[in-house]
């Protein structure tokens, strides 16, 4: 008896990196530690990787993101 496999054989498209990045644009901001002129700072990036801000510390960066109605995520 042959198993019914037609449902498992359906192709599910894999989104591109760009399509995945667009999912969080305007809603998610990534925070990453950076050096600016040798001093530590926190860079704020949109989901597509565009830098949208800079703050002196993570607390202020997260507050700025929340103030703009976005969700902050930390990138290590």
pLDDT tens for residues 17-52?
Answer: 777 666 656 688 999 999 999 999 999 998 888 899
Q: Which two tokens stand for residue 34?
A: 């950076």
The predicted model scores a pTM of: 0.67
Are the beta carbons of 44 and 52 closer than 8 angstroms?
yes
At 59, the pLDDT band (50, 70, 90 cuts) reads very high
What is d(CA 41, CA 69) in angstroms, rounded to the nearest whole number? 22
Lowest mean pLDDT among 26-30, 52-56, 59-63: 26-30
């Amino acid at each position: 008896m042959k198993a019914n496999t037609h449902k498992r054989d359906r192709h599910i498209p894999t989104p591109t990196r760009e399509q995945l990045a667009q999912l969080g644009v305007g809603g998610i901001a990534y925070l990453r530690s950076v050096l600016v002129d040798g001093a530590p700072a926190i860079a704020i990036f949109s989901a597509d990787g565009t830098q949208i801000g800079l703050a002196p510390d993570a607390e202020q960066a997260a507050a700025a993101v929340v103030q703009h109605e976005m969700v902050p995520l930390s990138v290590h």
